[in-house]
Amino acid sequence: MNRRRLLQMAAATGAVTAREAAAQEKVARATRALPSPRIKDVQVIATAPQGLRLVVVKVVTDQDGLYGYGCGTYTQRADLVVPAVERYLKPFLLGKPADRIDDLWQAMYNSSYWRNGPVLNNAISGVDQALWDIKGRQAGMPVYQLLGGKCREAADCYSHASGTEIQQVVDSARQIMARGFRHVRIQVGVPGQAGYGAGRSDVTVEKLHNAPVFEPEDYMRRALKLMEACRKELGDEVELLHDVHERISPIQAVRFAKDVEKFRLFFLEDPVSPEDIEWFRLIRQQCATPLAMGELFNSPHEWTPLIRDRLIDFIRIHVTQAGGLTPCRKIAAMSELMGVKTAWHGPGDVSPVGHMANVTLDLVCHNFGIQESVSFPAPVREVFSGCPEMKNGYLYANEAPGWGIEVNEAAAKKYPFGANERGERQQLNGGWGEVRRRDGTIIKQ
Ligand code: MG
C-alpha cells in the first residue's frame, strides 16, 4: 500500500485531518523529488592565517551550489594530510552518494587496510565533516538539529591562565573570571625550565645539552604551590583545571593525582601518556581526583577500555584525530552510558569548521562536560566567516544550515603553509621541538 493511500485512510478514520494529510503528502512528494547528491570533486584548502597550519576539505556534489567543508587539521604533519585526501580518498569517493555518511565513513576507514593513524584519520575527518555540512545545507538546518537538537543553549568553556610566576597566574585567572568564565586552567612555569602551557623565566639551569629542560619533580612541586595559591586567592567557587601533558612518569602521576585531590580540581588532564593508560586503574583506586584523557588518542583500542571500565571522568579526544564527527558521536554515546563526560580538545590548531563540530557535539550530547575556549583572530575570520561565538564564557553555535561556515578561498591562499603570522619561515615546518631532562633524556611532550 502506498503512502498516499495510507494517509487517505488515516484522514478517513480521523487520525489526522485532511489538511494535515495533504501537508504530509506535499512533504513526501518534495522529498522524493530530491535525487541523492553524488560526490563530484574533493578539494583541499591548506591555509595558515594565524601561523598555525589548518587543513580543510571541501566536498563538492553534482547538485548546483551544494558542497560542504570539513576539518582535517593535523598541524604538526599538515602537509601529509593533503595527499592522503587528494591521492587516495578523492578517487575512492568520486561518484559515490554524498548522503550516506556512516556508510562512506566505514568505507574510507577500511580502504587503507591499516588504520587508526593520525594522518589518515584526519583525512577521513575532513571528508566526514564535509558530508555532515552538505546534509545540513540540504535540510536547511544546522548540524545540531540533524543530531536531535540542543540539550543546552551554549557550551560552558574554560580559559587558560598562565605565567612564569605564581602571582601572574593568579592575576591572569582573575582577569579571565572577570570576563565571565567560571572555569580556568592554571599552568605556571618552573624557573629556567620549559614547563607546559607557561612561559620560561631567564634563570640559567645547569644541563648537559642545549635543548630546553624539564624536570618532573621540579614541575610537580611548583604546580602544587600554584594550586594552593589559587585556592587561597581565588576562593572555592571557581573551577580549576590543570594539564600535566603526560610529562611525568606513571608512578609520579599516581602520587601527583593524590596530592592534588585536596584542591578539588574540575579535572586533571593527561596525567599519563597514551602508552601508559593501564596506570589509570591504579590512580583511580587511590583518589577521587577527576581525570581527563584522550587528546592524543587515535584508536578505539585507546578510548574503549578507559570508558568501559569508568577509569576516567572526561573523554578529551581531538575530534579530527579520531576520524571526525561520525565516530565521536558514538564515543560520546558510549561515554554517556558509562558516566563519562565530554571535553573535546579545542586548541588554535583546529579550524573554525572543526570548532563548529566540537560545539555541535557539546550541544547535542547530554553528557557534555566542558569545552576549551577559543578565539578567532582577524586573519582567521578573514578566511572563515560564520565562526562560533564566545560570550561570557559560553560558546554559541552558528545557526545557519550545515556548519554555517563559508571559506574565502582567495583569502586562504594569502596564508600559505611554512610561514608564521609575520611571514617568517617556520624552522620546524609546524612540528614540535624537543624537551630534555638535565642529563639529556628526551621526555614526552
Ligand atoms: Mg592538553
Mean pLDDT score across all residues of the chain: 93
Residue 193 makes CB contacts below 8 A (sequence gap 6+) with: 200, 205, 212, 213, 214, 215, 218, 219
Residue 32 makes CB contacts below 8 A (sequence gap 6+) with: none
The H-or-E segment that residue 269 falls in is strand 267-269
The predicted structure's pLDDT at residue 7 = 46
- Which residues are in the CB-under-5-Å shell of ion ligand 1? 243, 295
CATH superfamily of 146-401: Enolase-like C-terminal domain (3.20.20.120)
The predicted structure's pLDDT at residue 35 = 82
Ligand 1 centre distance from Cα of residue 380 (Å) = 22
Q: Could you please report the per-residue DSSP string of 377-388?
A: -HHHHHHEES--
Work out the average pLDDT over 190-206.
Answer: 87
What is the Cα Rg of the chain in Å?
24
Is it the case that residue 442 has pLDDT exceeding 80?
Answer: yes
The predicted structure's pLDDT at residue 30 = 56
**What are the cell numbers at 426?**
617556520
Which residue is catalytic, options 183, 245, 318, 355?
245
Ligand 1 centre distance from Cα of residue 245 (Å) = 6
Secondary structure string (H, E, C) spanning 109-169: HHHCCCCCCHHHHHHHHHHHHHHHHHHHHHHCCEHHHHCCCCCCCCEEEEEEEEECCHHHH
pLDDT in tens, 346-356: 999 999 999 99
Is residue 242 annotated as a catalytic residue, yes or no? no
Q: How much of the chain, in percent, has pLDDT values that exceed 70?
A: 91
pLDDT in tens, 302-360: 999 999 999 999 999 999 999 999 999 999 999 999 999 999 999 999 999 999 999 99
Predicted TM-score of the model (pTM):
0.92
What residues does each domain of the chain span?
146-401
Ligand 1 centre distance from Cα of residue 195 (Å) = 13
The H-or-E segment that residue 250 falls in is helix 250-259
Which residue is catalytic, options 88, 109, 196, 396?
196
Is it the case that residue 426 has pLDDT exceeding 70?
Answer: no
pLDDT in tens, 111-122: 999 999 999 999
Ligand 1 centre distance from Cα of residue 178 (Å) = 24
> Which residue bears the cell 570548532?
355
The predicted structure's pLDDT at residue 433 = 87
The predicted structure's pLDDT at residue 431 = 83
pLDDT in tens, 225-234: 999 999 999 9
Please give the Cα distance from 22 to 264 (Å, whole number): 59
**What are the cell numbers at 234?**
581565588
pLDDT in tens, 26-62: 655 555 556 899 999 999 999 999 888 999 999 999 9
Q: How much of the chain, in percent, has pLDDT values that exceed 90?
A: 84
> Which residue bears the cell 541523492?
36
Ligand 1 centre distance from Cα of residue 321 (Å) = 14
Report helix, strand or coil for 423: coil
Residue 358's nearest CA partner among 344, 369, 340 is: 344
Confidence of residue 200 (pLDDT cuts 50, 70, 90): confident
Residue 212's nearest CA partner among 435, 440, 421 is: 435
Work out the average pLDDT over 87-104.
Answer: 98
56 sits in the region (left: phi over 0; alpha: psi -120 to 50; else beta) called: beta
Report helix, strand or coil for 179: coil
The predicted structure's pLDDT at residue 148 = 98
The predicted structure's pLDDT at residue 3 = 46
Ligand 1 centre distance from Cα of residue 243 (Å) = 6
The predicted structure's pLDDT at residue 319 = 98
Report helix, strand or coil for 184: strand
Residue 305's nearest CA partner among 282, 330, 278 is: 278
Confidence of residue 12 (pLDDT cuts 50, 70, 90): low
Ligand 1 centre distance from Cα of residue 244 (Å) = 8
Is it the case that residue 297 has pLDDT exceeding 70?
Answer: yes
pLDDT in tens, 368-407: 999 999 999 999 999 999 999 999 999 999 999 999 999 9
Q: How far is CA 370 from CA 152, 158, 184, 186, 309, in A?
A: 12, 7, 11, 15, 21
Is it the case that residue 6 has pLDDT exceeding 70?
Answer: no
Q: How many CA atoms lie within 13 A of 268 on its CB side?
A: 31
Ligand 1 centre distance from Cα of residue 184 (Å) = 13
